[in-house]
Amino acid sequence: MSEAVHGASFAPATVGVRKRRKSWLAQNRGAIVRHAVIILFLVIILVPLAWVGIMSIKSLPDAMRGNFWPKRFDFTHYSYIFEKIATLPRNLFNSIYVTAGTVFGTTAIAVMAGYALVHLKPRGGPFVIAALLVSLYFPVRVVSLISIYEIQHFLDLINSTTGLILPYITLNLAISVLIMRSMFQLVPHELFEAAKIDGAGPWRTLILIGLPMVRNGLVVVFIVNFVTAWGEFLLCTTLTNDQDARTLPVVLAGAQGGLGQWSWPNIAAVYVIVVTPGIIAFIFAQRLFFKGLAEGVIKG
Amino acid sequence: MGQSIAATGLTHNPAHRRSALSTRVTRLQNGVGAWLFLLPAVAFFVGYQVYPLIRVLWISFTDYQFLTNEPAHWVWFRNYAEALSDPLMWASLWRATYFTILFLPGTIVLPLLLAILVDRVTQPRLATLYRVVLLIPAVIPSTLVFVLWKWMYNFQTGPINHFLVDVTGLFTQQDAPQWLGGTALTLPAIAVMEVWWGLGYHTIFFLAGLAAIPKDLPEAARIDGASEWQVFWHVTRPRLAPVMMILVVLRFGSAMAVIDEYLIFGGFNRETPTYTWTMFMYDEAFKTGLWRQGFGAAIGMIGAVAMMIVVVFLLRIFRPRD
């Protein structure tokens, strides 16, 4: 902008508007191309999502036709899916339940571990950190599946929705602990020392002084674990057999699109219901999320 | 700011309160207390990651089958010998490698390009907007990304084939591409989906790397008459190498070990390109016969070790040369 104004001020006043506009275009050609390329990518990101959103309010004939914009809208799919797909409320509840358990479980565990690793300096701490780091590079999730099944079978947790929370907590444990560790490294040690001398125990210190200081990291850990637990497929499909026990995304992945209760607009409506909460939560938390990402993930 | 808070905290609490004895006692209490805080994390890590891996390694040396009451026998390397002499083991490893080759360049180069463009956007509002939209796919859970693209690629009603057949007329309803279901197009189709999914997230990674480069470095190079390409190649690229290394190694790992996508888009036909070593393991351990988990575990171990060899190799290539 300032460049354009600057350039224009050199042009003699007698030169017509047309020429000045041309020089603005010429001077900002780089910026225009840059924004155009970025916007092209944003469109590529958004089009599939928009397509599903519109699909969920299309009438059935329009859904089969494939045009982007329907001839007739139909908003009844949202009520239909809750009335006609018997297990849907159950699956939605399962998703919320498993995700909440996983997110709160992992976050609490990661905060405690991160705090301890940085400020309580336990013996063997560096070894724990090294082990967590190595696990990030090993395909643990896939390779350990056979014995995870065995453990769950031993604990009588096959086909149990609650049982899923245990392996789910472990899925992102390493990265969550490492994020919280680098967050706590940003908190000056003297702060915790001072609290201790004032007579606060380690729990009080952590909750009253530590937590507010690592807020941004908490948001990142929350979102990362939410995304994993909400959409987990492999463990859920392996460790449960009944549609009743499964989470909604897994049921959705198994649904064959066509007619009847799983017609395309119905699937799309279910899809919108499961995908929107995460996106909205992210948009609201994005400032904290980006800060946390910069502090915890990239430096760590 | 943090420092000033810390300083006031200290002045309120005179140091003479601490004696040598109480320091020692608190240190001991700390040792126990610290491990209490660490215990849940270590318990989950050992119980659901370390132990299962050791257990799988153990199982891989036995003829353990899940759906039988017969006790398992220790068979040493028989499972490994059987797997390694099976052409399917090698074919399935190659399929995973082929997918990684399709996926990895796009998921590194496109975000790098985007990051360089977004990094130059100076209007704060636009810069934030771009970042938020870029990250939207990253907050869509995996399964929902797959469900979404299962539609995109749908043979009859998917928008991609609608575009190819009805809008552009490049294909007819009969010879339209069959993207999913284990055809030759399935792996490239999944690779495109994965690039879409990781595009924004990786861009944010590179943006953080770019933000760490002092602005006067590229400026100085430009004043010295370097072209934009030279600035990128000699100034920016070496400083992004650490970020790039993390991305390449992590994405190599996730691409080689893909399984959810193949379960959803492929199926258990052993001839199809989506039948990789992970599917081979899953098929043997949870689908076929009496669930030969000893054999399945050996397949998993072979795949994991093959991956680790490449990871160590990659880490050596990207090792900072000072």
Do A66 and A145 lie in a common domain? no
Tell me which chain B residues have a C-beta less than 8 angstroms from the C-beta of A227: 138-142
Residues B38 and B136 occupy one common structural domain: no
Q: Are residues A261 and A199 in the same domain?
A: yes
Minimal CA separation from B77 to chain A, in Å:
18
Contact A151, B52 (CB under 8 A): yes
Q: What is the CATH number of the domain that holds A199?
A: 1.10.3720.10
pLDDT at B244 over 60: yes
Count of domains observed in chain B: 2
Instruction: Please tell me whether residues A182 and A40 are part of one structural domain.
Output: no
- Are residue B98 and residue B161 in the same domain, yes or no? yes
Q: Is the model more confident about B103 or about A259?
A: B103
Q: Measuring CA to CA, which residue among A219, A201, A229 is closest to residue A111?
A: A219
pLDDT for res B30: 63
Spell out the residues 6+ positions from residue B159 whose beta carbon is closer than 8 angstroms to its own: A48, A51, A66, A68, B151, B152
| Same-domain check for residues B29 and B87 | no
Q: Are residues A269 and A288 in the same domain?
A: yes
User: Is residue B57 one of the residues assigned to a domain?
Assistant: no
With CB atoms and an 8 Å threshold, state whether B53 touches A286: no
Residue with tokens 């967050």: A183
Last residue within a domain, chosen from A78, A106, A139? A78
Distance from CA of B218 to the nearest CA of A (A): 17
Lowest mean pLDDT among B27-41, B129-143, B183-197: B27-41
Is there a contact between B285 and A146 if contact means CB atoms under 8 Å apart?
yes
Q: Same structural domain for residues A121 and A240? A: yes
Q: Helix (H, G, I), strand (E, B), or coil: what is residue B66?
A: coil
How far is residue B193 from each of residues A126, B98, B149, B248, measured CA to CA in Å? 38, 16, 7, 18
Number of domains in chain A: 2
B82, B7: one domain: no
- C-alpha A256/C-alpha B216 separation (Å) is 56
Whole-number pLDDT of residue A189: 85
Which of A73-87, B48-62, B126-140 has the lowest average pLDDT?
Answer: A73-87
Q: Which of A4-13, A255-264, B98-107, B130-139 has the lowest mean pLDDT?
A: A4-13
Asked if residue B56 belongs to a domain, the reply is no
Nearest to A139 by CA among B251, B264, B32, B141: B251
Asked whether residue A46 falls in the same domain as residue A104, the answer is: no
Q: Is residue B52 part of a domain?
A: no
Q: Does one domain contain both A127 and A69?
A: no
Return the SS3 of A177: helix
B201/B308 same-domain check: yes
A-chain residues near B49 (CB < 8 A): 135, 140, 144, 170, 173-174
State the smallest CA–CA distance between residue A9 and chain B in angstroms.
22
Among candidate residues A38, A60, A78, the one where a domain is terminated:
A78
Question: What are the chain A neighbours of B44 within 8 Å (beta carbons)?
Answer: 109, 166, 169-170, 173
Which domain range does residue A54 map to? Answer: 2-78
Q: Specify whether A74 is located in the same domain as A93.
A: no
pLDDT band at B26 (very low <50, low <70, confident <90, very high): low
Q: Say whether pLDDT at B46 is over 90.
A: yes
Query: Does residue B82 share a domain with residue B28?
Result: no
| CA–CA distance, A70 with B104 (Å, rounded to integer) | 37
Q: Is residue B105 part of a domain?
A: yes
Domain shared by A47 and A153, yes or no: no
pLDDT (tens digit, 0 to 9) for every residue of chain A, 300 residues total?
A: 333 434 344 444 444 445 555 677 777 888 888 899 999 999 999 999 998 888 888 887 777 776 778 888 888 888 888 877 778 889 999 999 999 999 999 999 999 999 999 888 888 889 999 999 988 888 999 999 999 999 999 999 999 999 999 999 999 999 999 999 988 988 888 888 888 788 878 788 888 888 888 888 898 899 889 999 999 999 999 999 988 899 999 988 887 766 666 778 888 888 898 899 888 888 888 888 888 877 766 554
Take residue A77 and report the two structure tokens written for it.
């799919």
Interchain CB distance below 8 Å, A233 and B146: yes
> DSSP readout, A100-155?
HHHHHHHHHHHHHHHHIIIII--TTHHHHHHHHHHHHHS-HHHHTHHHHHHHHHHT
Indicate the pLDDT class of residue B104, thresholds 50, 70 and 90.
very high
Highest mean pLDDT among A263-277, B91-105, B119-133: B91-105
In a domain, B169, yes or no: yes
Q: Are residues A12 and A135 in the same domain?
A: no
Task: Verify that B124 and B33 share a domain, yes or no.
Answer: no
Collect all residues of chain B within an 8 Å Cβ-Cβ radius of residue A139: 253, 256-257, 303-304, 307
Same domain, B29 and B82: no
Looking at the fold, whether B17 and B132 belong to one and the same domain comes out as: no
Residues B278 and B236 in one domain: yes
Q: Is B38 inside any structural domain?
A: yes
Record: contact B31-A64, CB cut-off 8 A: no
In a domain, B70, yes or no: no
Q: Do B174 and B37 sit in the same domain of this protein?
A: no
* Whether residue B245 sits in one domain with residue B120: yes
Residues A146 and A278 in one domain: yes
Single pTM value for the model? 0.85
Q: In which domain, by residue range, is B265 found?
A: 78-317
Do A91 and A74 fall within a single domain?
A: no
The span from the first CA to the last CA of chain B, in angstroms, equals: 35
pLDDT at B194 over 70: yes
Neighbouring residues of A209: CB distance < 8 A, sequence distance ≥ 6: A191, A192, A195, A200
Residue of A147, A257, A267 lying closest to B56 (CB–CB): A147
Which of A27, A60, A78 is the last residue in one of the domains?
A: A78
CB contact under 8 A, B9 and A191: yes
